[in-house]
Chains A and B, each alone.
Chain A
Amino acid sequence: MRPTENIEGFIRKRKLHIATSADADKRILNDSFAAMETAKAKLTGSWRNRWTMVWASKVRRLAAAAVIILLIGFVIVHQVSRRQTDGQAVMEAAKSPAEMLTFVSLTMAYRKGGIDALERQCEQAVELLGPRREDLSIGELLEELNSNGMNSERTEL
């Protein structure tokens, strides 16, 4: 049986009943915090010792510097290539409807994927063009002009 199961079995079998009090809880907590502080201090000390060992040796110092430079280089290269990919995507996304609807652009869409590709390109251009007004009658335009005139507020051109 594994230790966890051992403990579980022990608790299940013995049906432990531990009476607690506020004083006991406080004492246990204080002891726990004290133990934690000691452990932390030991750990920091050990890291400090390791760094002291590294910096004491010239070879180790050079090796550590090389590792740091390599890490920085890797991060820079990664970031630049990510930016380039993003830039390409942005350029593609920014292709304007006007560019998408030239004779050559539509012709190439057809050559790539037939009528379906041609229609897809038109659909994408519509997406970029955005919605249109449902109706625009002369009546509506007049109404709009009249209301602007009656409103004596400054009409923005």
Chain B
Amino acid sequence: MKLIRERKLTKPILIALVLVAASSVFALPADPDNAALLYYQVFLIHERPDDTMQDMIADFADGKIEADSRITKFIETQKTVIELAAAAAELPDCDWGLKYSQGFAMQIPYLVQTKQLARLILADARISAAKGDYNLAIDRYLTARKFAVHIALEPTIINLLVGISIEKIANKCIQDILSSASIKPETLQYLNAQLDQIDNNLLPIKLYYDTEREVMTMYMTSEKTRQVLPFLDSERESKFNEARELILTADEQFYQSNRQYFNEHMNAIFSALELPYQQGYVELKRLDEGPPEQFKENPDATMTAIMAPAVHKIYNHDVSRKTFSNVLKAALEIYIIAAGTGKLPDVLPAGLPKDLFSGEDFEYEKKADGFVLSCRAKDLDEDKIHEYEFKLRK
């Protein structure tokens, strides 16, 4: 009996001992799961080159000049920074910790170094491609694209615009790399899948306008409006002197009516965003131009006239960048076919991402040394049809 009881006790005692031992093993804290924490570290250790070098890196990253030994050497010294940024870009979450409750006084300090960092990463992509290390070149390009998405995860229009600006130079970089390299089909497929994933992580443009609406509404009170007036630029100052007079002498009823007008204006903008590009752009432009013309007859439009952003311009940037991303994905499919068959397809394969200016497939033209994909409708803001040229390395 005693033996049986002892055996019965042995097992729980052993389990308890194992648990005690396991709990005493020290574990390092986990790495951050917020990409912004790593980006902030990157900004702290990123060495700012002198002006000449900075210009050289910018021109090289943008594809305007060839690499020289000075650029290569500098990029080599920045590997720690680039690797840390690459690690940050792989994290799905990125919370920059903005204090939205501060409204217009909210600080967005990280934006100062974003373009420089992006160019550093893209310069490394171009150097890697020139060395024939296409896998690393593509990884660097993807880091820049993911970084752009992370910046625009904070739903302010400023973040969106900076993200778009980085995305644009990154896409130009991969367009050049694809045109100068002979890349394996599986690498191209990997890149295409990654681009789909990146595009899926973009926030809808409506969300940025929602934030703008919230912040603007915060300032549509007699006390808060006075804080914003000094920031209005000189051109607007002269144009809206009359509006200022109205605002400075207004009562609470004025602000209430103005808030209502602004909300209706924003609702009309949201409806216009649902339209196809050509109608949507025209309608947004009409809405943008309305309040500045109306407020003299209709004082309810005053605050909207002074504070509402030029939505049609921002919308155009968004359509333009999405079209560039689509054209890259369409081009990748063509490169994959060319890599498999040894020649370019005669017609554009079906089911490829579309030109968002027209809502149709891109126009495909075979050339002696590559191909051109063109939009089928005008970019109404720039008043031109975009064409994207890709070369095929034999």
Give the docked Cα–Cα distance between A101 and B96 (Å): 14
Give the docked Cα–Cα distance between A102 and B106 (Å): 5
Give the docked Cα–Cα distance between A65 and B158 (Å): 62
User: Of B47, B112, B156, B231, which is within 8 A of A125 by CB?
Assistant: B112
Flag if B156 contacts A105 (CB, 8 Å).
no
How many A-B pairs with Cβ below 8 Å?
88
Flag if A104 contacts B107 (CB, 8 Å).
no
Say yes or no for A54: interface residue by CB 8 A criterion. no
Q: Which residues of B contact A102 (CB under 8 A)?
A: 104-108
User: Of B47, B111, B113, B309, which is within 8 A of A111 by CB?
Assistant: B309
User: Of B46, B102, B156, B165, which is within 8 A of A119 by CB?
Assistant: B165
Give the docked Cα–Cα distance between A111 and B216 (Å): 15
Q: A107-B309, A112-B233, A134-B47 are in contact. Are A126 and B108 (CB under 8 A)?
A: no
Flag if B313 contacts A101 (CB, 8 Å).
no
Flag if A101 contacts B107 (CB, 8 Å).
yes
Give the docked Cα–Cα distance between A105 and B165 (Å): 19
Give the docked Cα–Cα distance between A125 and B111 (Å): 10
What would 11 more interface pairs be, CB under 8 Å, given A103-B108, A123-B112, A135-B80?
A101-B111, A103-B158, A105-B231, A106-B108, A106-B111, A108-B232, A111-B233, A115-B161, A132-B45, A133-B47, A136-B45
Interface size (A, Cβ < 8 Å)?
29
B residues sitting closer than 8 Å to A (CB atoms) are 43-48, 77, 80, 102-109, 111-116, 156-158, 161-162, 164-165, 215, 228, 231-233, 235, 309-310, 313, 317
Give A118-148 interface residues, CB cut-off 8 Å to B.
Answer: 118-119, 122-123, 125-126, 129-136
B68 to chain A, nearest CB (A): 21
User: Of A98, A103, A112, A132, which is within 8 A of B48 by CB?
Assistant: A132
Flag if A101 contacts B108 (CB, 8 Å).
yes
- Can you list 29 A-B pairs, Cβ within 8 angstroms, ordered by A? A97-B112, A101-B111, A102-B104, A102-B105, A102-B107, A103-B103, A103-B104, A103-B156, A103-B215, A104-B228, A106-B158, A108-B232, A110-B158, A115-B164, A115-B165, A122-B114, A122-B115, A123-B112, A125-B112, A126-B116, A129-B112, A131-B47, A132-B43, A132-B44, A132-B46, A133-B45, A133-B47, A135-B47, A136-B45
Flag if A107 contacts B157 (CB, 8 Å).
yes
Q: Which residues of A contact B232 (CB under 8 A)?
A: 108
Give the docked Cα–Cα distance between A112 and B232 (Å): 9
The 10 closest A-B pairs by CB, nearest first: A104-B104, A134-B47, A103-B106, A122-B112, A125-B112, A106-B158, A131-B48, A126-B112, A101-B109, A112-B233
Flag if A114 contacts B313 (CB, 8 Å).
yes
Q: Which residues of B contact A119 (CB under 8 A)?
A: 115, 165
* B215 closest partner in A (C-beta): A103
Give the docked Cα–Cα distance between A115 and B235 (Å): 18
Q: A102-B105, A102-B106, A134-B45 are in contact. Are A108 and B233 (CB under 8 A)?
A: yes
Give the docked Cα–Cα distance between A134 and B109 (Å): 19
Flag if B44 contacts A107 (CB, 8 Å).
no
Give the docked Cα–Cα distance between A123 and B313 (Å): 23
A144 to chain B, nearest CB (A): 15
Give the docked Cα–Cα distance between A102 and B47 (Å): 24
B83 to chain A, nearest CB (A): 12
Residue of A103, A114, A115 most packed against chain B (CB within 10 A): A103
Q: Which residues of A contact B317 (CB under 8 A)?
A: 115
Give the docked Cα–Cα distance between A103 and B96 (Å): 14
Give the docked Cα–Cα distance between A118 and B102 (Å): 20
Q: Which residues of A contact B103 (CB under 8 A)?
A: 103
Q: A126-B48, A126-B113, A131-B48 are in contact. Are A103 and B105 (CB under 8 A)?
A: yes
Q: Which residues of A contact B309 (CB under 8 A)?
A: 107, 111
Q: Which residues of B contact A129 (CB under 8 A)?
A: 112
Q: Which residues of B contact A114 (CB under 8 A)?
A: 313
Q: Which residues of A contact B108 (CB under 8 A)?
A: 101-103, 106
User: Of A104, A122, A135, which is within 8 A of B111 by CB?
Assistant: A122
Q: A114-B313, A135-B45 are in contact. Are A101 and B161 (CB under 8 A)?
A: no
Give the docked Cα–Cα distance between A98 and B107 (Å): 7
Flag if B44 contacts A133 (CB, 8 Å).
yes
Give the docked Cα–Cα distance between A122 and B165 (Å): 13
Flag if A104 contacts B45 (CB, 8 Å).
no
Give the docked Cα–Cα distance between A122 and B116 (Å): 10
A49 to chain B, nearest CB (A): 58
* B161 closest partner in A (C-beta): A115
Give the docked Cα–Cα distance between A111 and B231 (Å): 11
A42 to chain B, nearest CB (A): 61
Q: Which residues of B contact A125 (CB under 8 A)?
A: 112
Give the docked Cα–Cα distance between A134 and B82 (Å): 12
